[in-house]
Amino acid sequence: MSNSNSIEAIKRFPFPFAGDSYQYSVNIQPVVNEPILDVDEHYQTEIKLRNSILDRNKTGRYVNLPHMKTAQWDTLEAIMEDLATHYSQFFTLHQKGDRWTWENKILNVRDTFAFLDESSLPYEPFEYIARQVQEDIILLDQREKDLFLDAGVLTFPTKWSIEFDAGMSFEEFHAPVPRAHQMGVFKKAKSFLRRIEIGKPWTRRNWTMTVNRRLDTSFETYPAWGKDRSSVTLDNCGAKVHLRVEVQRFVRLPRSNSLMFTIHTYLISLEELSINPVWTKRLHEVLKKLPSDIVQYKGLSRYRDTVLTWLSQNTLEPEYTNLESTVYSRSL
């Protein structure tokens, strides 16, 4: 299958479950001594895909309200500094006062521009940098004790539309999530996010499943992928069904006081996943116990039972239960 993961990518897959059941929680941890963004083996493929989506039609993919101009530059700066620091073999940034030179060796880009002068870049600063990262980026404006979704580039969404959510407050754009509102999760999450400080980014993981290796599961393209969910059989399940994990990061932007929220989406097929028996076993347990409203919200209703059967038939007993020391007793 094209664009599948190498063995290295599988080993570093951000498996989301620490235990055998899944519960809502804020589940957030500090990012220390590691990059905010990830540049992995799918970089070129995913940048190409992002560009083609944005070039075709930006409606529903790109939102940028007028008061987010400063936040756009903040985003460009935060990302360039992060990439140049952690991936210096691919990216360099030279800053001489307001005159900056950015080089992206993978995409063969080299631009000199004036920081804070939009006319010196080929795109708006936000779009310029978003076209060079694998992450979707949402910018939240912090005001009135709330966070508002006032800008974003979203080409790889997990069943949502930034066009629909633009301008909404934190609890409004989380409205479709079952259970969590009653549990007070979003009030608590919001108050946590509002207090995130400059230089102290945080991260959390979110997960669902996707049929076929498809990053773009937006509402806008539903006709193209919705029907796939009825195509899962026990025979094709291992190759077709993917665990989809979002590594989300939250970064306070200094000039605008906005919050940058990045989403890196990773896909792994059940076959790939099953080289680590701890993972298949754990996923089986989580899926088995998942309450029906969450199954429905995550869009798994039509194929969960098939996946459960496949997992139970394809799980080998791990020789060690510790994930780190797991002996990979299967290969692809």
Partner 1 sequence: MMQAVKIIKIKNLTPKIKVFRLTEIDGKKLKAFSPGSHIAVEIPVGQKIHRNFYTLCSSQQQTEFYDIAVLLTNNSRGGSQYLHRSKIGTKLNISYPKNSFSLASFAQKHILVAGGIGITPYLSMIAYLSKNNIPFELHYAAKSASECAFYDFLKCEYSSQVKFYFSELEEYISPEKVLEKQPLGTHIYLCIPHSLRKDFITRAKSIGYPKSAIHQEIFGAKKVNQKRSFIANLSKSKQKITVAKDRTLLEALEAAKIPIDYSCRIGGCGACEVKVIAGDIEHLDSYYSSVEKTQQNKMLACISRAKNQQIIIDL
Residues at the interface with partner 1 (CB under 8 A): 25-30, 67, 74, 77, 141-145, 184, 187-188, 191-192, 195, 197-200, 202, 254-257
Q: How far is the CB of 273 from partner 1 (least distance, A)?
A: 24
Q: How far is the CB of 192 from partner 1 (least distance, A)?
A: 4
Q: Give the sheet arrangement for strand 146-153, strand by strand.
A: 29-30, 202-211, 241-252, 259-269, 136-143, 146-153, 62-64
282 is catalytic: no
Write out the two tokens for 239: 């190759």
Token look-up 């549990």 returns 183
Write out the two tokens for 67: 């008061």
CA distance 169 to 183: 18
Question: Do 104 and 90 contact (CB within 8 A), yes or no?
Answer: yes
Q: How far is the CB of 257 from partner 1 (least distance, A)?
A: 4
Considering the candidates 204, 205, 214, 302, report the single residue annotated as catalytic.
204
In three-state secondary structure terms, 270 is: helix
Q: Which is nearer to partner 1, 192 or 328 (CB)?
A: 192
Q: How far is the CB of 28 from partner 1 (least distance, A)?
A: 5
Q: Which is nearer to partner 1, 7 or 198 (CB)?
A: 198
Q: Which is nearer to partner 1, 159 or 194 (CB)?
A: 194
Q: Which is nearer to partner 1, 38 or 141 (CB)?
A: 141
Q: What is the crossing angle of helices 304-313 and 277-289, to 10°?
A: 150
Q: Which is nearer to partner 1, 146 or 228 (CB)?
A: 146
CA distance 163 to 60: 4
DSSP for 121-160 reads SSS-HHHHHHTT-SSEEEEEEEETTEEEEEEEE-SS-BS-
Q: How far is the CB of 113 from partner 1 (least distance, A)?
A: 17
Write out the two tokens for 113: 């521009």
- Residues recognised as catalytic: 204
